């Protein structure tokens, strides 16, 4: 079943790209699987929110969590470096990748259903408290626990393929044998390691990172501004300026 799940995710990315003529939008996904009883999941209530869901809140008999990162192609990352608004390519990638994540989870659901198992699906975006602006299921934190990456000082997760892309996850009631054990992950942020970077925070257009704190409201207002500007393309409350043009944008620094 492990290999079947990996194949479903990879093939869905390829097929979705071909069917929608988006062959150059993504690189190969990074995938990890962890137990729904992984002891590190307890950090979610502290690191994210007391209201953060646990796997059993979504699927009562949860056994495993599949976490994945879909990296954007370098062309899309480069397109978003200049200007004060998100590039059209970046916005389009955001919208299409959210749809791709839904398709991946739907395909995994089909696979599990055929084998007599159930899934617990969570949207790729907009699953957050609109007042606190905090997610009740953080795909990034799940990916961190799964060992996909570590957080930079811009609160984005740095993976072996950088931080530019989208994270997804899905819960299943099938116990997989090949779990990522809760080991200490090697720090990837240069600023946390050596204090030698910090470019990501400096690139923020609205200075949301001030006095060593993150102003969620200012950040989200900028994302909504971009969403309104590109409303003819679709709904995309994104910015991404603090992710591009960095040593960790497309690779592990």
Q: What is the DSSP letter of 43?
A: G
Query: Which pLDDT score, from 0 to 100, does residue 129 have?
Result: 62
Question: Whole-angstrom Cα distance, residue 169 to residue 65?
Answer: 7
Query: Which pLDDT score, from 0 to 100, does residue 178 have?
Result: 66
Global pTM? 0.94
Strands 165-172, 209-210: pairing is: unpaired
Query: Which pLDDT score, from 0 to 100, does residue 135 have?
Result: 84
Query: Which pLDDT score, from 0 to 100, does residue 182 have?
Result: 56
Mean pLDDT by 10 residues, the chain (253 residues): 95 95 92 93 92 95 97 97 96 97 97 97 72 84 95 96 97 82 81 94 93 89 95 95 98 94
């Amino acid at each position: 079943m492990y290999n079947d799940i990996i194949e479903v995710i990879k093939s869905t990315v390829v097929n979705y790209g071909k069917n929608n003529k988006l062959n150059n939008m993504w690189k190969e996904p990074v995938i990890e699987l962890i137990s729904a009883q992984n002891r590190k999941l307890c950090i979610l209530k502290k690191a994210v929110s007391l209201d953060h869901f646990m796997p059993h809140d979504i699927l009562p008999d949860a056994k495993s969590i599949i976490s994945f990162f879909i990296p954007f192609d370098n062309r899309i990352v480069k397109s978003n470096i200049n200007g004060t608004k998100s590039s059209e390519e970046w916005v389009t990638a955001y919208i299409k990748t959210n749809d791709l994540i839904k398709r991946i989870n739907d395909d995994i659901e089909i696979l599990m259903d055929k084998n007599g198992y159930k899934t617990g699906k969570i949207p790729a975006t907009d699953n957050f408290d609109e007042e606190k602006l905090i997610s009740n299921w953080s795909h990034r934190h799940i990916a961190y626990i799964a060992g996909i990456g570590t957080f930079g000082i811009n609160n984005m997760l740095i993976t072996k393929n950088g931080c530019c892309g989208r994270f997804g996850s899905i819960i299943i009631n099938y116990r997989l044998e090949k779990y990522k054990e809760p080991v200490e992950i090697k720090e990837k942020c240069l600023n946390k390691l050596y204090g030698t970077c910090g470019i990501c925070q400096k690139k923020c257009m609205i200075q949301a990172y001030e006095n060593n704190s993150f102003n969620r409201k200012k950040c989200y207002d900028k994302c909504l501004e971009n969403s309104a500007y590109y409303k003819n393309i679709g709904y995309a409350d994104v910015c991404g300026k603090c992710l591009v043009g960095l040593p960790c944008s497309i690779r592990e620094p």
